[in-house]
A and B are shown apart, each in its own frame.
Chain A
Amino acid sequence: MNITIDSLTKKYNDKSVLDIPEMEFQEGCLWGILGPNGSGKTTLVRIVAGILDSCSGNVLYQGDKYSDSIKKAMTLVFQRPYLIRSTVYENIAYPLRIRDINEQEVSSRVNELIESFRIQSIRDQKAWTLSGGEAQKVALARALVFKPRILILDEPTSNIDPESIMLLEERILDYYRKEKPTILMVTHNIQQAKRLCNRIAFMNEGKIIDSGSPSEIFGPGAIPKIKEFIKKGLI
């Protein structure tokens, strides 16, 4: 699903935090949204995900405005995911239950994900007893279980252990290769963006200052501002 942004702005107390005249996230691409702290990455993906209102402008999904059918085809995995007060299994099953999927199908899909995320041992554990890495695995499994056409990830691997990061990256790539959704992934990590993403949008002060393939954005032809950020270690 194509995501088109037109004249999108967001202000907090008259301070502009987002100002994107136009941008297109093409269907079937795995986008990395990069930029220093406070550059508007999270604000952008929250508006795209429909959980934050913009001050002006539009986001169109395959040419259409946000609607119930778009909402059902899209999801966002938060940096600190909220897990419902139930077991790991029930958390992953939740999106299927609200879509009235039959119990056999629920069981099959949830168990398949539990196995692929290697979380069998915590299947019946209550969500509030999980570590950060386990919680993030459950959140990603829950996002993938209903096969969204747009998957938005807001720093899904920050503050978790390297082994969990590797597993989450593998699962994201597996899903991408299999289903070819549009993925927007906010990350601070250039190496991670290079490993996973085939398109990059680089943000600074609420604007997308450059977009293209990772080699274009980070290669020898990178724009001076991005070179400066990299050199100073700001991302």
Chain B
Amino acid sequence: MDNFVSGFKDAFQLIITLDPEFFEIVRLSMVVSLTATLLAAIFAIPFGTWLGIKEFPGKRILVRIIYTLMSMPPVVIGLVLFLLFLRNGPLGEFRLNFTATAMIIAQFVLVTPIITGVVFNGTKERGPDIQALARTMGASPIQTVWLLIREMRINILSAVVTGYGRAMSEVGAVMVVGGNIKGHTRIMTTTIAMLRNMGEYSLAIATGIVLLLISFLINSLLYHWQQER
């Protein structure tokens, strides 16, 4: 119980003293996860929408693969990417292992199926109705896509926030490809894992509390957005 109490105290202290090392960890965590989520969203939103409204042979199998990838263990993703990025691996020439770029790629691979799956589910439910409305109103293909995005915005936002939350809370994949190098690839989740190994439980809890606060802030924004609409 002492660890929790001192964890809260440490979290408070870390925030008010603006500890530079800690804030660098928070900054890198957010940059890596935001970039990965943004890139995943750019790909997954149109893909999930398209999948929701189009019928084609093999669609069922593709959807099953996406659902499977949604629950893919992050450490497996990390391991596969690590092997691909090894010097003698197929992508070794890019020297990506132990860089923030590799961590972004790992989170991108992790988050893309999640955003695709959530957008697909929402579009599958309402997409055909929205498409039919657009067509019967005389909308052009571009106007139809725009209407779909506008009508599905809450679902899309939920998908992106879910993806971002997954990226922020992920540890296995980024640990394998990033290596938790101080000032270089150290982020909040890898810090927590490291502090736990070092027996620095209260500092690990403090980092966890800040991570939770960031999550709470993001979810509050989503909730506010949903209530507004």
Contacts and interface: CB of A to CB of B under 8 A. Distances in A.
A229 interface: no
Contacts of A50: 135
Interface stretch (A3-11, A92-100, A158-166): A92-100
B184 to A, nearest CB: 45
Contacts of A78: 132
B136 A98 contact: no
Interface string B145-163: 0010011000000000000
Nearest to B129: A82
Interface residues of B, number: 16
A71 B150 contact: no
Interface string B119-149: 0000000100110110111111001000100
B60 interface: no
A82 B147 contact: no
Nearest to A70: B138
B229 A94 contact: no
A95 B126 CA distance: 20
Given A95-B138, A98-B138, A98-B143, A82 B133 contact: yes
Contact of A98 (B126, B129, B132, B137): B137
A71 B139 CA distance: 8
A98 B135 CA distance: 11
Nearest to A145: B137
B226 to A, nearest CB: 11
Given A84-B147, A85-B151, A51 B138 contact: no
A72 B135 CA distance: 9
Interface string A83-95: 0110000000011
Contact of A99 (B130, B135, B138): B138
A84 B150 CA distance: 9
A50 B135 CA distance: 8
A146 B138 CA distance: 10
Contacts of B138: 71-75, 95, 98-99, 146
Contacts of B133: 81-82, 84
A138 interface: no
A228 B151 CA distance: 46
Contacts of B130: 82
A99 B134 CA distance: 12
A143 B133 CA distance: 10
Given A82-B129, A82-B130, A49 B136 contact: yes
A193 interface: no
A143 B136 CA distance: 9
Contacts of A98: 137-140, 143
A208 interface: no
A146 B132 CA distance: 17
16 contacts: A49-B136, A50-B135, A51-B136, A71-B135, A72-B138, A75-B136, A75-B138, A76-B132, A81-B133, A82-B130, A84-B133, A84-B150, A84-B151, A98-B137, A98-B138, A98-B143
Interface of B: 126, 129-130, 132-133, 135-140, 143, 147, 150-151, 229
Given A51-B135, A78-B132, A84-B150, 14 more contacts: A49-B136, A51-B136, A75-B137, A75-B138, A82-B132, A84-B147, A84-B151, A85-B150, A98-B138, A98-B139, A98-B140, A98-B143, A99-B138, A142-B137
In the A-B complex, the 8 residue pairs with the closest CB atoms:
A72-B138, A82-B129, A76-B136, A82-B133, A95-B137, A51-B132, A75-B136, A98-B143
